Amino acid sequence: MNEEKQAIRERALKFREELQPHPDLADEAAKNFFQTVSTSPDQKIAVYFPLGHELDTMPLVEEYWRRGNVCLLPVFGKDDRHMKFAKWEKGTKLFPQTFEIPMPEHPEFHDPDILVVPVVAFDQKGNRVGFGKGYYDATLKALREKADILAVGYAYAEQAVLMKLPTEEHDEKLDMVVTPQRVFDFRP
């Protein structure tokens, strides 16, 4: 693993933990998301279940459920870096899986059309630092080989860095990052 990237990850996580975000920020991010990302009722949206100091995705989920879209949660593979995505309906019983991340008890798997990605740090070119396990990069690469997919980072604006982040061969760029304050669109 890239030592410079690991040092950035550690500093960014510490910084994110020290943020005192207002609860309305999750609603503001969702508002920016829906103003920027157009979705049709048949599209499936994969979100992360917010843990710790991650930007809360529940306002997104609630609005997608209201619209009738299928929401998906990641299910982590034990032997490889590829995630599957399980249908998540309102009231579905969840239980902890790998990394204590909740998943539906009886998963029904689907490929997403839109992938909402957790972010530790991001730069102005769409490069992202995550938790360093490579799950999102490997999964995004595999999904992009099969179909068009929109990869949307979801973060606080303070997680943006001005310098170009170090990248490795396996890293996948984000198409955009949505924050409570603005949207960073990296598509050509």
Is 8 assigned a ligand-binding role in the annotation? Answer: yes
pLDDT tens digit sequence for 73-115: 999 877 777 899 999 999 999 998 877 889 998 899 999 999 9
Q: Where are the beta strands (DSSP E) in 98-170?
A: 102-104, 114-118, 121-122, 128-129, 150-154
The answer to whether 52 is annotated as binding is no
**Is 131 labelled a binding residue?**
yes
pLDDT by residue (tens digit) across 140-160? 999 999 999 999 999 999 999
Q: What is the pLDDT of residue 124?
A: 95
132 is in an annotated binding site: yes
Q: Which of 55, 54, 107, 52 is nearest to 76 (CA)?
A: 107
| Least confident stretch, 136-140, 159-163, 174-178, 180-184 | 159-163
> With 0-12 CB in 10 A as exposed, 13-18 as middle and 19+ as buried, what is 43?
middle
Region 173-180: mean pLDDT is: 98
Please tell me whether 121 is known to bind a ligand.
no
Domains of the chain: 3-185 (3.40.50.10420)
